[in-house]
A and B are shown apart, each in its own frame.
Chain A
Amino acid sequence: MATKKFMFVNRKAPYGTVYALESLEVVLISAAFEQDVSLAFIDDGVYQITKGQNTDGIGQKNFSSTYKALGDYEIKKLYVEKESLEERGLTPDDLMDLVWEDEDDDWAEKPSIILVDRSEMTDVLADQEVILSF
């Protein structure tokens, strides 16, 4: 099977709707097909990867730690839009420390989050072969 560039675009906050969790599950399943998978976090999608999420008060499963497993699934490109953070009063420091381990470099941890501005995000999207929106 030829490898294609797959992009999952996440634009919704977690928990209020099921989109974020559905996207994450499809991402994990798609990893089995060994495609070139990347994720984009735009608009309210940036809330999916904030650190310190605590769902005790709403009785839902906190799935934020699952994003930390993406590196194990060879998903190493998480594009986050700067403007989306700024509009929400957030900074890159508010995001989880998401990394992947480089097996060829003695399992060194390398950052997965790639901060891009809106015009760079446009280019990243234009470069994809398959885009799935959530």
Chain B
Amino acid sequence: METLKTKKMKEVHPMEDVLRMNRIPHIWCPGCGIGLAVTAFAAALEKAKIDLNKVAIVSGIGCTGRVAGYIKLDSFHTTHGRAIAFATGIKVANPDLKVVVFSGDGDLISIGGNHFIHAARRNIDMLVVCVNNFIYAMTGGQVAPTTPLAAYATTCPFGSVEPPINIPYLADSSGAVYVARWTTLHIRRLTNSFIEALDKKGFSVVEVISPCPQYYSRINRLGDGLDMMKFYHDNTEIRHGEDTKNLDIGFQGKIIMGKFIDRERPSYTERFD
């Protein structure tokens, strides 16, 4: 037993200064993409050489809401949908901090949709990472505002009849200064996007399309996480600067990704000064 312990101590992952390794293995399912978003974010923090004492990370509720518990920075696990509201408070009270909101589509766009719109309108200086897995995964696969038309979920057994929300279009029209979308397969581009967005003054949104093998893929019979990654490989197209109106995602349709918006607007704290 002693030898096992010493052997375990030896195996130290290079990301252990950003991760709470005593809480890992994490609760996410085999093949889930949220771990990849966290890896890309940790790599971006390391590459951008940001002072880790100056970063605060806020999560809401849900599968992606667990991220704040696994990252070894100042982190907050807030109530459902109020991650952006909480992060606004942090930023206004302490404008030196880099504030990152790491949450899922159900938390940010559905229950926290109002906060999302108004934080973008005020242009509060923060990075919002929205991990979009098209479903409410933690509570059992209910239909989310991002579920594509005709996709199945546990609460719509005959296929969803609600048109989904287009997150980049919503962020663009509300006034975000940086909007990008990547899938978890395009991990290096995602890392570079995080670096750019962390550097940007203003409300930046990075949407990460992630596989959900246990709920979205299982109910819709799309295979496991690896099959979803192969689907992303074959059915994605990079179009930088594309009009955000054209970014709707249909069920198993083409996913357009890239950096869509990169503009300058005075941020909330700058207007105060």
Please indicate whether A and B come from the same complex rather than being unrelated chains. no
B residues adjacent to A (C-beta < 8 A) = none
A residues adjacent to B (C-beta < 8 A) = none
